[in-house]
Amino acid sequence: MNVLIIIVAAIAFFVAVYLTAMFLNKKGLLKDLDNDWIPDVLEDKVSDVKVEIAELKADLKATQDRLSKELKDVGVAIKEVGNQLGDVPQAFSGKKRPGRKSGTRG
């Protein structure tokens, strides 16, 4: 008996929603030019959100590319610092500086 009441209530609910949508559509309050039962206002909002998401994805991709290049530059700089760390003990010991002689161009 309870199942029958639930089924009847569900059918009554869907009929009420359908009749309300029909009434609003006929009165012009629910504009739906393409008759797909989705209000045009809602379709416009969804398309606007899709455009904004596409723009945000493009911005995120550009930021990701810039960040990737910057991290590569930092990696190169850290490697150079690591290569030059071996020269520090020699500088304290008084040995001559390795590398290019001063006053010459490479």
4-30 mean pLDDT: 87
Q: Measured between alpha carbons, how far is 84 from 77 in angstroms, rounded to an integer? A: 11
Question: 78-91, pLDDT tens digit by residue?
Answer: 998 888 887 777 77
Contacts of 30 (CB under 8 A, 6+ apart): 21, 24, 39
Burial status of residue 106 (CB atoms within 10 A of its CB: 0-12, 13-18, 19 or more): exposed
Give the per-residue pLDDT at 82: 85
pTM for the full predicted model: 0.47
68-81 mean pLDDT: 94
Contact criterion met (CB below 8 Å) for 97 and 87: yes
